[in-house]
């Protein structure tokens, strides 16, 4: 009986240490496009943060457990807290996400949609020939 309790206690301690980093709970974001391909140029930032965090250019992932604000404060990721992130990439529409931090397995995927540069809808102007415009001689005479 005591050995079982010992094992259970050990398991709780080990998993707790694994889920918790030095300061907070690590959160991992994978940024991909609609075809599940990693976007290597994506950046992630908190709305109140000045700095942008680049994702891993190979797999498009970003992992963090604390963010530092311009006023010197820190946002430490703790289980139960709501996390707001702006995820953007050149040529893609920015997404703002909200995520509630859990105790473990804080990994999720964010898909970005490409901008639709639809120039076909733009009406093309007509080309005109060069014509001399007759000089406007005016209809009236002098003011008086």
Partner 1 sequence: MRTRSLRLSLLGLCLVAPVALAAGLSDYEPIFPTNPCQDGWAACIVNGDSVTADPTKDAAGRPLPSDLRVGWFDLEATAALSPFVELSAYDGELDAPEPPAEAPVASGGGDGGGGGDARPVAVASNDGGGGGGQASQGGSRRDPGGETTAPAGAGGGATTPSGRPMFTPTPVGQGSDLTATPTTPTPVGSGTTVAQLDNTAAIQPVAPPVANDSCDDLVALEPAALMGRMLPGQVKCLEGRLSGADLQTEKDKISRVLMQNAEAAGNKSEWERLIKRHLEDIDRSDPNLCFKYALHLSRGGVGRAWGVIKWADYALENKQQWTGSTYKARVNALYQLRAEAAVKLWEDANAKMLAASGDDRSKLEADEVKLRGMAKDYSREWLDYARAAGEDIKKPMALCVSTAGSKKFCEE
Task: Give dist(CA 4, CA 72) in Å, integer.
Answer: 47
DSSP-derived secondary structure letter, 48: T
Regarding 90 and contact with partner 1 (CB under 8 A), the answer is yes
Regarding 140 and contact with partner 1 (CB under 8 A), the answer is no
| Residues 6+ away with beta carbon under 8 Å from 18 | 104
Regarding 134 and contact with partner 1 (CB under 8 A), the answer is no
Among 1, 116, 140, 142, binds partner 1 (CB under 8 A): 116
Let me know: does 28 contact 35? Beta carbons within 8 Å.
no
Regarding 57 and contact with partner 1 (CB under 8 A), the answer is yes
Nearer to partner 1, 15 or 57 (CB): 57
By C-alpha distance, which of 51, 52, 79 is closest to 65?
A: 79
Regarding 15 and contact with partner 1 (CB under 8 A), the answer is no
Point out which residues bind partner 1 (CB under 8 A): 40-41, 43, 45, 47, 52, 57, 86, 88-94, 96, 115-117, 119, 122-132
């Amino acid at each position: 009986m005591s050995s079982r309790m010992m094992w259970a206690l050990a398991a709780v301690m080990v998993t707790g240490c694994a889920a918790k980093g030095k300061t907070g709970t690590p959160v991992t974001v994978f940024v991909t496009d609609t075809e599940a391909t990693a976007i290597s140029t994506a950046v992630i930032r908190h709305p109140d943060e000045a700095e942008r965090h680049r994702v891993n250019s190979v797999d498009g992932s970003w992992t963090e457990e604390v963010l530092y604000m311009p006023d010197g404060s820190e946002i430490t990721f703790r289980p139960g807290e709501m996390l707001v992130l702006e995820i953007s990439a050149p040529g893609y529409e920015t997404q703002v996400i909200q995520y509630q931090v859990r105790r473990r397995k804080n990994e999720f995927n964010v898909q970005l949609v490409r901008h639709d540069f639809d120039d076909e809808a733009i009406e093309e102007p007509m080309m005109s020939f060069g014509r001399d415009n007759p000089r406007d001689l005016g209809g009236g005479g002098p003011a008086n």
